[in-house]
A and B are shown apart, each in its own frame.
Chain A
């Protein structure tokens, strides 16, 4: 019985993240439009886009290789697996131990690896631009991400998300400088990783400034759909990661009744909405920076993360 329910919860979670991802994207677009006094597309516009793309035939460049065609599915799958093990509304997912925080980051890394290769496959200059810039961003984002994880792990004594969430919700956490800094760093990394303003602009097609869009320039049809879905899934993943670590309220513990799960779900949705809204607000209130300011931005994140790891000594119990 327990196993069944656990399996059910896991399956539900997997389905949930995929289904919610476009909605979150839609929500953010909507909020941004509203902030700009525009009507904006409807919340479910992303779903429509995806379906249309899926139905279209895929146009592929002549010298695109098998890699180009397989990559989107693999990227999506990898991101999905990563997202599947993050406690969104309930801890103790049955498969949560397959991958801890480090593994999740690494999974996203594999997705990026494939995406960058796909960008170089056709052999256009824009693909190259995108890939090389993506690689540069990754070289700064990943270490800072890992240092953030170190901070958490050294404080919570585990890299297992459920455990960390449990620890963070426990009273003994208190208020720690290192955690605060880690949070800031994590937000910065998340912005960079999801190619949001000010690092990159998901809406732009101004060639020389784009990174993510430049890589996927050659994609169309179902392949593009897969990549779009993966992107919004990644955004969802990061937001749920942040909320799961730093505001782990009302996460349903395992073997609690359906009410707890329901409460957890509702709270999670609100968290998502708030997070998305905040992101939209941030994006509208700031301008995109030049590509070669990005390293400084991420370097700051890296330094903060390092600071966080070191500061955990001084603020053992503040």
Chain B
């Protein structure tokens, strides 16, 4: 690229990993939430810059542990970006939590340190070229989020964290077992030792692996990582964790952690599709995707807690995405990627809005929130725009991906399109019902003006809107390349 590139090439990847670690260490030591919050933002910004620099630098050779390829750059950049905006949001959010005394400064130190550890875990999971390492990283990220979900120490929070932890560790076990099986499948071909766990090598030889082993492995990996993706019926931890944790964490969970697990599943799907006799991963994923979609769609109706509502909507959208990837083919894969990015942006934006609303109204109960567009126009219309986007209405980006998914499904498997459309419609009905209640009608609850800045929310929404209208050709080419790579 340019003269800088050799310089950058050296440490772009390292920076993505090291910045959070160092920041975490610092944050664990520093007192005073203002500095720590700022430092948190700063660290996230640095991570983002490092991630962006991955575009311009030429990539390091895939090593035994680390790998940078087209697929994970997208994830890393998205991760770093949402991490950055969320850190901005969390700064204002946490300030309010301190005022209301729900959190103590001691908690905060812990909180910010954990935040960076989590970012580290997720980035590591993305860049790792070693399935064992990837596993470790995902678990690290998960466990940190467990701790953060429980941070309020109310019995609901503890219960949510406990549930998250138990289900999560079962998932851990499954994923590990799957990983071991993959190794066993690879070992006769690749030979013993590290090579049999290096993803790039595995992909090369996947065709000659023992299909039966790969099948069992994939079942365990799908269930193990699927637990984190929040696919029904493995979703149980997700709503509670979203509802009881601090809102920035809910945003990160929905926007990022689910993607991490999804990324892992995708990696193994590629592996499986490389081996001819192995069971097709597609049908399994499509089934789980549809199940989650329809299940979540119905669950949306009886919600009384606004954060739970959007947690279920995350399950729904993860279902759609997994379905799309399961469907496969360049069109559907493209749609899946696009949908994932759009969902991350939109959902975190929504959680930003929800966080502000919950702080203003002092409650998360839907019935206590009415007429937002009247009392808090910028917040209310922002939330409205977010929900419109997440419900798949144009001109937002999700409309494009849903358009592609549904139409290509119908063209290829007409029968599958019917449950898909059904689920979409049911979910749409529920979301709009709640939105009408929250955004319109006789205002209810506190009308105090919100102090926090809405920039992160509107930044996300602007991106989603822009993507809905115009996707820059390089990005498209990139995604299409990945879509073909995913097969």
The answer to whether A and B touch in the complex, with CB atoms under 8 Å apart, is no
What is the interface of chain A, defined by CB distance below 8 A to chain B?
none
What is the interface of chain B, defined by CB distance below 8 A to chain A?
none
